[in-house]
Chains A and B, each alone.
Chain A
Amino acid sequence: DSGVTQTPKHLITATGQRVTLRCSPRSGDLSVYWYQQSLDQGLQFLIQYYNGEERAKGNILERFSAQQFPDLHSELNLSSLELGDSALYFCASTPRGTGELFFGEGSRLTVL
C-alpha cells in the first residue's frame, strides 16, 4: 500500500460523457502528479500540482483539466470522452525534497 488513494478503481462510461477521477496523496505530501497509461503503452505525464498550484504540464488535452484542493486531494476531470481516452489513470505523490514518486492503484476508465 503506497498510501495514495484513487477512486473510482473502475469506471465505464459512454463517448461524449464527463468523468471525475479523485486522488488523495500520502499524508504530508504536497505534490500530486497525474499520468495516463493506455493499453501496453508507456506512462504519459499529464500534469503536476504542488500545494494547490499547477507546477508542470505535459501533453494534457484541452478536454482534460485538473485541480488540487486546500486539503491537497486532487481531481482530474475528463470531458467529451472519446474511445481513445480509455486507459489507466494514475496519480502519484512525492515527499518534499525527494524524487520518489508513490503511485496509487490507478483508475481504469473504459469509454464505450
Chain B
Amino acid sequence: LAKTTQPISMDSYEGQEVNITCSHNNIATNDYITWYQQFPSQGPRFIIQGYKTKVTNEVASLFIPADRKSSTLSLPRVSLSDTAVYYCLVGVTNTGGFKTIFGAGTRLFVKA
C-alpha cells in the first residue's frame, strides 16, 4: 500500500477555500485516491474518489497531477461545520486483500 503524508492540522476561516494536499510518492498504477471526513465520535464519511486529473462533486473537488504522486482536496467556501479530520487513502478498489488503512489525517479548524 502506498504511504500517504498529510499536514497534521490546518486552520481556516468561514467562506474561504481550503486545499489539503496529500503526498503519495509510491502510488501504484492501479491505485485510486479516496478522501474521507470524520467528525468526533462518528464514523468517517466518504467525500470523493479519483484516479487522475480532476474530479468534482457537490461537496469537494479532487485535483490529481499527471504523475499522481500527490493529490489535493479542495473544499470551497468552508463553514464552521466543516471542522473535522480529513483522511487521504490510496489503494486498489477491489473486494479483497485491500486493508484500507487510514493515516493520521488532517485536522481542519474553521473559525468564524
Interface residues of A (CB under 8 A from B): 2, 4, 30-31, 33, 35, 42-43, 45, 48, 50, 55-56, 58, 88, 90, 92, 94, 96-106, 108
**Cβ B36 vs Cβ A101 within 8 A:** yes
Point out the residue from A42, A50, A56, A106 that lies within 8 Å of B42, measured CB to CB.
A106
**Cβ A99 vs Cβ B44 within 8 A:** no
Q: Which residues of A contact B42 (CB under 8 A)?
A: 103, 105-106
**Cβ B32 vs Cβ A99 within 8 A:** yes
Number of B residues near A (Cβ < 8 Å) is 28
- Chain B contact surface mostly: loop
Most central of A92, A98, A102 by chain B CB within 10 Å: A98
With contacts A56-B96, A104-B43, A106-B41 taken as known, whether A99 is within 8 angstroms of B34 at the C-beta atoms is: yes
Most central of B89, B91, B93 by chain A CB within 10 Å: B93
**Cβ B100 vs Cβ A102 within 8 A:** no
**Chain B, range 55-112, C-beta contacts under 8 Å to A:** 87, 89, 91-105
